[in-house]
Amino acid sequence: MHLTSLLALIPAVAASCFHNTPLARRVTVPSYGYTATQGPLNWYGLDPSTNVACATGTHQSPIVIGSSEISKVNNSTVTLYIPTVSDLEFENLGTTIEVPLTNGTLVVGNNTYTLAQFHFHTPSEHRIDEEHFPMEAHFVFSDEDGSIAVVGFLIDLTSTKDHSTPLLNTIFEDVNEIAEPGSTTELGLLDFSSVSRHFMNNDIYTYSGSLTTPPCTEGVSWYVSGLPLVLDVDTYNQVKKVLRFNSRYTQNVLGQEDLLQLAADELNGVVV
């Protein structure tokens, strides 16, 4: 997940009426990427002062979730609510495809978070018991103190749309229109209720991690659904043609030395 669009919500809403016209808003494409020196192993090198946590953090995301090791939330303490909405923008930021959306709340115990955006990664960033998934959705929230919480859904594949999560079918219906980084399109009616129930009625893994994109800021409260959503393979193929690859490698075990720091220590002959 990333911070970029937490800072740029108002222009997104203001420009939506220019959809598919020569005046269509162009979103800003970040400078980092997922290949060679633009990729995750060099995010620190792209901006050492800002991105230091990307190479030295000990509570970085994503992780491999061991189902018997990572804590689960008491489901009775969690409420995810996102109102039904239409005409939202769907943006290709180059690094992800994202929907700015400020209507929605996540309440966990005494903490109330407000939704900022949701976006997608392919393949999944988190793994559960080593298994990866073809895609992952991140719903990014912040509270009034600026603390960030992310609700993550892994996404598995099925043969037909009949078995897909209906919300995903609607979101990805016109994904071909945002094939180009910087482009936007408009979404149909999005009903989040079944996905909210899916989240609240199944296991929820929780841990304190980080943004999975620069600046890899830590202190992010992760809530990852233990049961994947489902997408049909034809739609997945279309989405993959647009997203191509935007998954950070899994990080060190929580609390242990960052894997890049460890590699540097070893290459410099430091006994670790």
State the residues that interact with its own copies by CB under 8 A: 34-37, 39-42, 44-45, 48, 55-56, 64, 122-123, 127, 129-132, 134, 156-160, 232-234, 236-237, 240-241, 244-245, 249-253, 256, 259-264, 266-268, 272
Nearest approach in angstroms of CB 243 to its own copies is: 9
Nearest approach in angstroms of CB 35 to its own copies is: 5
Nearest one of 84, 92, 137, 147 to 114, comparing CA atoms: 147
Cβ atoms within 10 Å, residue 196 = 19
SS3 assignment for 228-254: CEEEEHHHHHHHHHHHCCCCCCCCCCC
CB 62 within 8 A of CB 212: yes
64 exposure class (CB count in 10 Å sphere: 0-12, 13-18, 19+): middle
Nearest approach in angstroms of CB 84 to its own copies is: 30
Nearest approach in angstroms of CB 47 to its own copies is: 11
Q: Which is nearer to its own copies, 108 or 154 (CB)?
A: 154
Q: Which is nearer to its own copies, 111 or 261 (CB)?
A: 261
Q: Which is nearer to its own copies, 119 or 127 (CB)?
A: 127
Q: Which is nearer to its own copies, 117 or 250 (CB)?
A: 250
Nearest approach in angstroms of CB 134 to its own copies is: 6
CA atoms of 19 and 9, how far apart (whole Å): 16
Distances 166 to 76, 105, 171, 192, 254 between C-alpha atoms, Å? 25, 21, 9, 9, 34
Q: Which is nearer to its own copies, 91 or 125 (CB)?
A: 125
Strand partners of residue 229: 155
Taking only Cα atoms into account, the Rg of the chain, rounded to an integer number of angstroms, comes to: 18
Burial 184-195 (b: 16+ CB within 10 A, else e): bbbbeebebeeb
Q: Which is nearer to its own copies, 158 or 217 (CB)?
A: 158
